[in-house]
Amino acid sequence: MGVSIYYEARRSTGLSEAETELIKSAIDAAGLPEQEEEVYEHFLAYELHVPEFQPRNADIIFSGATGIKTAEEEKHWAKLLSTIRGILPDASWQVHVEGEHYEWDEKAGCFFFPVKEPPPTLEVKIPSSTALEPEAFIALAATALGLPKEASSEEIAAVMVERFGDPCRLLFCPKDEFDITLKNQFDSHWMLWSITGKLSFPGVERQWVYSPPGANKQLDANA
């Protein structure tokens, strides 16, 4: 599943010819992000690039979505959108990446992504010998909280919210050295448990991170 940056500008009056030409020039000038091996998507503006496009609301004058794979791509398109917003300063804007919204810095004249502190996190180490069953993960989480291994996921969630507040997060990560075969086994089971709801902690954000040694702390800090 891909990740995209979405953008939408609303105004009671439509785009003028002069505004349209300025936006086209800005898009052309921005080009594509600097690339090596990656293949990037071109910037997509529905009103300019999709023939006979009809917005869902009459006051939407500029909108689109562009797929991104790297932070460099995201920064590149956010910079272009900052330029376009300067062309349409009287429009109401929304820019977001999969629901995480950018904000506008009036003084700097650019969109920026507010840095959010990660919620309180309980890190649970998973030994490679752990059985690939959701019950085994639940038991390890219970032990980390000082609860009986037989505690249910609902009981674990209630204790976490009581101790750490809402929101809070339960982070599962490997205890042992990185192993690609083991990673793939865990990943496939984790996806199945997520889809079927077999590993669920009501009210607690749950995350699985399997990465080389030393990377978990960095990933967690930037989550």
Using CA of residue 72, residue 75, residue 78, residue 82, what is the dihedral sign? negative
Task: Grade residue 30 by pLDDT with cuts at 50, 70 and 90.
Answer: very high
Looking at per-residue confidence, does 197 or 140 come out higher? 140
5 touches 97 (CB < 8 A):
yes
Q: Does position 85 have pLDDT exceeding 80, yes or no?
A: yes
- Which pLDDT score, from 0 to 100, does residue 149 have? 93
43 touches 30 (CB < 8 A):
yes
- Which pLDDT score, from 0 to 100, does residue 60 have? 95
Q: What global pTM score does this model have?
A: 0.55
- Which pLDDT score, from 0 to 100, does residue 200 have? 87
What is the rounded CA–CA span in Å between residue 155 and residue 21? 60
Q: Specify the amino acid at residue 176.
A: D
Considering only 102-106, 160-164, 219-223, which range has the smallest mean pLDDT? Answer: 219-223
Q: Hey, where are the domains in the chain?
A: 3-112, 121-221
Q: Which fold has domain 121-221?
A: Barnase; Chain D (3.30.370)
Mean pLDDT computed over 135-140: 93
The residue behind tokens 């954000």 is 205
CATH 3.30.70 fits 3-112, yes or no: yes
DSSP conformation class of 109: T
Write out pLDDT tens, residues 143-201: 999 999 999 999 999 999 999 988 888 888 888 766 777 777 888 888 788 778 888 88
What is the rounded CA–CA span in Å between residue 46 and residue 54? 9
Beta strands in 34-158 (DSSP E): 60-68, 92-97, 100-101, 103-105, 110-112, 121-126
The residue behind tokens 């999709």 is 50
Q: Could you give the C-alpha distances from 112 to 31, 58, 96, in angstroms and in order?
A: 20, 27, 10
Fold: same for 3-112 and 121-221: no
- Which pLDDT score, from 0 to 100, does residue 178 have? 64
Looking at per-residue confidence, does 128 or 94 come out higher? 94
